[in-house]
Structure 1
Amino acid sequence: MENNGKVTLFSLASIIFIEQIFRVLQGSIDILVLGKVSNDAVATVGLINQIMALSIVFVGIAILGTNILFSYYYGEKNFLKMSGTMTSGIVVVLFAATVLSSVLIVFSKNILLLMGLEDSLVELAIPFFIILSLSIPIQGINSIFLVYLRNVQKRRLIILALMIGTTLNFCGNIASLFLFDSVQKIMFAIAIMTVVSHLIPFCMYGYFITKSKIVQLKIKHISKANIKEIVLLGAPTAAEQFSYMIFQLFLSWVVLSWGIEQLQAKTYVQTWSEFIFIFTITIGQATQILLGQRLGAHKIEEVVPIVSRSIKVNCTLSLLLGILLYSVHKQLILFYDINDSIAMLIASMLFITILLEPFRAINVNLISSLYAMKDSKFVFISIFSLWGIVVPILFIFKNELTVVDVWILMVGDELFRSILFFIRWKQQLKKRLRIRVTKKPSTESIS
């Protein structure tokens, strides 16, 4: 097997964390450079980036399903099924990304107007939007390639590709400021460099995988059964993520009805808390891969220790980072020159965040563990909790709540879901153990 060493939670988490950091950097470079040119351009690109984020969620159907299956077959050391999973995953990604990219390009003007962009900025935004839409299939295939590279722990290749792509993107963006004198030309150049930053990893990852002895990306390995399983595993997650994004828009609408200051407090706290979630999601994804490999290798006895350890690590890290964020909130408030009324809301919300983030970490870990067990139907628990409990409470008590009360409500929501996820996890664990016990006698009788 192509592996740089023993697969551990830390080794996988370190790879994923580096990816996340570079992804954040790449997303920030365009905004940083355009901030020197035009505030309108910054607002336009920020809006387009939100649309692109939603698009990646749609393509993520194939990415998640491929990740679950590949990790399992990697642990099983089944090279043929690994090849089938990778090839089928690429087919699903290409289909979904091509359809989505085409829709975004054809209806680019209508979409931008629907999102509330002013008529004067639409013509400025369309070329940038179209170029980024063309890159969606490349980003999707890159994510499928990363499924393989994470499992075989090709950390140096991942870092090198992301570093080259990010550096070229930054240098190209800076150069565009000196080479062009119009905002539209600068935005066009920045869009091209963003695509280049995705093409570099695409070429490097693709070249390495074509030389791999583990997988062979050939048409004959495309499997209808794999395609079906990939979609069935990934579709519920996409539905849950879309549900969460719509809920956030609804929540912003509700909070805004209480006053612009409360919405500003919500925006600041969510932005500052984002770095905690990067760590949380990193450990969750690493747990999923590690667990999938162990299940594929039929090492059921290692499942509980892996999940228990990852939950402890994730909760502890989230708690410490939450405390750290709260301890520096006064400095952040001074830096952003936030007025006293908003500062009081932020202080209360960040104090509640100390309790909120560990519960969120538990949920992320349990969700990732259930995915590793090929259980994706549980995600509807989140949809039920948000729209069946949280939303009705917000409607009923809308005139009596503040944004601080919403944060307390979110703690209750995360706690409620963690209990349901834990029950589901125990059920799946017992089911796995029963399957293993019932298989043993038949195996022994055959031998």
Structure 2
Amino acid sequence: MLAWPIFLEIFLQTLLGTVDTLMVSRISDDAVAVVGISNQLFGALTTLFTTFAGGAGILIAQRMGSKKIKEARTLAIMGVSASFVLGIAVSIFLLFFAAPIGGLLNISGDLLPLSNIYISHVGGGLFMVGLIASLGTAIRNTGNTRGPMYTGILVNVVHIILNYLFIFGVMGMPKLGLAGVAISTIISRAIGLIMLFVMFRRAFEIRIGLKDFLVFDKRLFREILKIGWPLGVNSSCWVFSQLIVYSFLAVLGSEALAARTYLNTLESYCFTLGYAVALAAQIQIAHLYGGGKTREAYKLAYRTLLIGLAVVMGNMLLLFLFGRQILGLFTQDPGILALGVSLLAINLILQPSKMLNMGMGNALSAIGDTRYMMYTSIASMSLIGVGCSYVFGIWAGWGLIGIYCCMIADELVRGLCVLLRWRGQKVLRKAEAERLEPAGTPLPGNGATTSFST
């Protein structure tokens, strides 16, 4: 019940990205390359101002599970406020420094004019992404997963229509090309932001007013930081590592960059349902954990993982069988097609590794064990995800295939680390002990044992 609206929302977001890629491919493959690397940059920066939203979301679900609704409301407000302030700062930076940013990303000189347009236009409105993410996170963690889904439907419809009008100059509109994609993105996001803000104000029993955004609770803010900053570092590490990998691809040339962008679009569909299940499970595990039902929370993580792996593997098998035909819808360039098809078999290993990492990682996040994930992410992503990608992909000359192999190794190592951490049950045992202690119940080691079995 929690997962299907999340799935539909993410599916529609993925569809929006696909429509962007498909329409932009009608401009040129160079334009696709610019959109691909720019979106990696936007994703990296978005994590910076959604850190508070992620930490607040977990705490909201825990407070809802323990029936502390007033604290959940305050946490939601502070998460949105922090995302707004940081988002404005990031948007101003992108708006005025698009040209030097393109140079830092190793974008070739002939692509820089396109990147300047896209980064300045879309980046200038990036604060809306942070607000949309924080509002949606707060709403979903109260248990309302349908509201963001309905918003996603409307945003997609508006975006597709505006893309068609602005890119191709239909119905008397100016033919703006890549700038049209940027304008369409900003308008559709603004509509989604307004809808989510209205829902957010009514998400709790006491309606949220504008004056409430001035509320600041030091104790709750410290709790958000305790969970949120490691979560933010973890997310930032992943996105920034992907951004660096994209800069490696830029060194390999626009063919490799476009092939990765096209394949990334197709991979998103394979992973969407698995990710939705993992995200729904995170909400439920946080509710269970907040309500003291630690054993149920422990078992739920494994059930989620099995369902997610089955779904992802089934989807990846379909992509492997029909991937060449689907890639042909985006481009007819023989070099890009050959690169994309060569990666389809490798994806049969990459996506299950991602599911393992995502499923168990979300479970750890739900109970607040985010610092462990941060440490493993920093080590694995820097050494394997980035370091080995450069060694094998660039220095050794393995190219895009070498980089993909390193991506698999990184996801698998991190997935196994979080799986072992979950099986150790350190945080769950500590929570159970704290819950039993006030009642005078003997703790493990004093004649009683606490057991969590799969």
User: Which TM-score tier does this pair reach, normalised by the shorter chain?
Assistant: 0.7 to 0.9
Moved more, 355-364 or 297-306: 355-364
Q: 1:203 to 1:346 in 2, by over 3 A?
A: closer
Of residues 188, 205, 211, the one that matches 1:197 is: 188
1:188-233 CA-partner distances (Å, limit 9, x unpaired): 6654443332222322232233234435531464222333332342
| Cα offsets for 1:32-64 (capped at 9, x unmatched) | 555556777666555544433232122221221
Code of the aligned partner of 1:418? G
Distance of aligned partners of 1:142 and 1:266 in 2 relative to their CA distance in 1, 3 Å threshold: closer
1:244 lines up with 2:238 in the alignment: yes
CA gap of 1:231–1:106, structure 2 versus 1, over 3 A, is: farther
Q: Deviations over 1:328-386 (max 9, x none)?
A: 2454577666759975x766643343233223211111110111111111222122123
Instruction: Give distance in 2, aligned partners of 1:394 and 1:191.
Output: 31
Aligned to 1:350: 344
Change (3 A) 1:404 1:114: closer
8 Å contact kept, 1:264–1:342 = no
Q: Distance in 1 between matches of 2:205 and 2:378?
A: 38
Q: Distance in 2 between matches of 1:26 and 1:394?
A: 29
Structure-2 separation of matches of 1:305 and 1:57: 29
Tell me whether 1:274 sits opposite 2:268 in the alignment: yes
Instruction: Note the C-alpha offset of 1:31.
Output: 5.0
Alignment coverage as a number of residue pairs? 432
Matched, 1:283 2:312: no
Given the alignment, which residue of 421, 445, 450 partners 1:424? 421
Amino acid at match of 1:421: V
Letter in 2 for 1:314: G
Structure 1 residues 433 and 175: alpha-carbon distance in aligned structure 2, compared to 1, 3 A threshold:
same
Q: Secondary structure at 1:178's aligned position in 2?
A: coil
Q: Percent identity?
A: 21
Which residue of structure 1 lines up, in the alignment, with residue 219 of structure 2?
225
1:46-445 alignment runs, 5 A limit: 48-115=38-105, 129-176=119-166, 177-178=169-170, 183-184=175-176, 191-214=182-205, 216-217=207-208, 218-219=212-213, 221-248=215-242, 250-251=244-245, 269-329=263-323, 331-332=325-326, 343=338, 349-378=343-372, 379-389=374-384, 398-399=395-396, 404=401, 407-427=404-424, 429-443=425-439
Where do 5+ consecutive residues of structure 2 fail to align?
442-454
Aligned to 1:24: 14
Contact 2:65 2:291 in 1 (8 A): yes
Q: Is the 8 A contact 2:106 2:250 kept in 1?
A: no
Q: Deviations over 1:64-93 (max 9, x none)?
A: 112111111111121111111011101211
Q: Classify 1:191/1:324 alpha carbon distance in 2 versus 1 (closer, same or farther; 3 Å).
A: closer
1:302 Cα deviation from its structure 2 partner: 0.8
Amino acid at match of 2:52: A
Instruction: Give the secondary-structure state (helix, strand or coil) at the position aligned to 1:328.
Output: helix
What amino acid is aligned across from residue 90 of structure 2 in structure 1?
Answer: L
What's the Cα RMSD here?
Answer: 3.8
For residues 190 and 261 of structure 1, do their structure 2 counterparts lie closer, same or farther at Cα, with a shift above 3 Å needed?
A: closer
- Residues 257, 78 of structure 1: CA spacing in aligned structure 2 closer, same or farther, 3 A cutoff? closer
**For the structure 1 residues 250 and 122, does the alpha-carbon distance in structure 2 shift closer, same or farther, using more than 3 Å as the test?**
closer
Q: Can you list the C-alpha shifts for 1:98-139, whole angstroms capped at 9, x where unaligned? A: 111122223234334544567887677667644534433333
Is the Cα–Cα contact under 8 Å of residues 108 and 129 in structure 1 kept in the other structure? yes
Quick one: structure 1 residues 251 and 111, their matched pair in 2 at CA, closer, same or farther if it must change by over 3 Å?
closer
* Cα distance change of structure 1 residues 352 and 51 upon mapping to structure 2, 3 Å threshold: closer
CA–CA distance in structure 1, aligned partners of residues 179 and 270 of structure 2: 34
8 Å contact 1:13–1:283 — kept in the other structure?
Answer: yes
In 2, Cα distance between equivalents of 1:199 and 1:191: 12
**1:8 — aligned with what?**
none
State the Cα distance separating 1:13 from its structure 2 match: 1.8
Counterpart residue type for residue 208 of structure 1: M
Return 5+ residue gaps in structure 1 as ranges.
1-10
Contact 2:390 2:403 in 1 (8 A): no
1:314 deviates by 0.9
